[in-house]
A = this chain, B = another copy of it.
Amino acid sequence: MAADGLRHEFKVVVVTGVPGVGKTTVLSELAKIAESRGVKIKVSNFGTYMLETALKEGIVDDRDKIRTLPLRKQLELQRLAAQAIVRDAARELGSDGVLIVDTHALVKTSAGYWPGLPRHVLDELKPDMIAVIEASPEEIAARQARDRSRYRADMGGVEGVRRLLEEARTASIASAVHYASTVAFIENREGKASEAAMQLLQLIEKL
């Protein structure tokens, strides 16, 4: 137990970003660069863990149904998912390892913006860093429009995205106060995901 209950042995970096910002690409670049530099990382997708938990408990039978569950049910899954992520990381990572948690700081739901890093999740993750992958609202909205099958929720076009980006920044800082996490804003320019990944890795190495 490091830093008196405030940290895990391994480092925990939560990587957030609004849908369409290119987070998945940045994270797959990160995995490659980390390997080539001998940095031991494990990337865990929060949504996947929520789904697996829900399947195990017989609550849903496919991923899309998670989002249609009442938020109170999702709340329970959130905590269980966070616990499972930490448990798995503890088995695989030592004090030189880095757990990357792929998730959101704020999720647009039909009942309003929903914090992706509320206190009961932070109590499990105890993040060293909350990274916020960003891009221009125009680029993000264009990417969402291009791939409708993937980004089903209506994000309200450029203005809706701009607003979500702003509120997600606020949410990241508000979440960071709970465990003294650093907050890093990383610009993911079109076609430059490996640069964003490199910048993220350099920040992680400073932790």
Residue among A75, A76, A111, A117 with max Cβ neighbours from chain B (10 Å): A111
Known contacts A110-B206, A182-B109, A206-B110; is A115 also within 8 Å of B72 by CB? no
Query: Which residues of A (66-101) have their CB < 8 Å from a CB of B?
Result: 70-73, 75-76, 78-79
B115–A176 touching, CB < 8 Å:
yes
- Copies of the polypeptide in the assembly: 3
Q: Does A203 contact B (CB under 8 A)?
A: yes
Known contacts A128-B71, A171-B173, A174-B174; is A180 also within 8 Å of B113 by CB? no
Known contacts A7-B75, A179-B119; is A203 also within 8 Å of B167 by CB? no
For A185, the chain B residues whose CB sits under 8 A away are 112
Whole-angstrom distance between the Cβ of A151 and the nearest chain B Cβ: 19
Q: Does A65 contact B (CB under 8 A)?
A: no
- B72, B111, B170, B207: the one within 8 Å of A174 (CB): B170
For A128, the chain B residues whose CB sits under 8 A away are 71-72
- B6, B118, B179: the one within 8 Å of A178 (CB): B118
Whole-angstrom distance between the Cβ of A31 and the nearest chain B Cβ: 20
For A118, the chain B residues whose CB sits under 8 A away are 176-180
How many interface residues does chain A have, given as a range? Answer: 35 or more
Chain B proximity mask over A161-197: 1 for CB below 8 Å, otherwise 0: 0000001011101111111111111000000000000
A184–B111 touching, CB < 8 Å:
yes
A115-B177, A118-B176 given; 9 more Cβ-contact pairs under 8 Å: A3-B75, A4-B79, A110-B206, A111-B207, A113-B182, A114-B183, A118-B180, A170-B173, A174-B176
Interface residues of A (CB under 8 A from B): 2-4, 6-7, 70-73, 75-76, 78-79, 106, 109-115, 117-121, 128-129, 131, 167, 169-171, 173-185, 203-204, 206-207
- Which 4 A-B residue pairings sit nearest by Cβ, starting from the closest? A112-B184, A118-B180, A112-B182, A111-B206
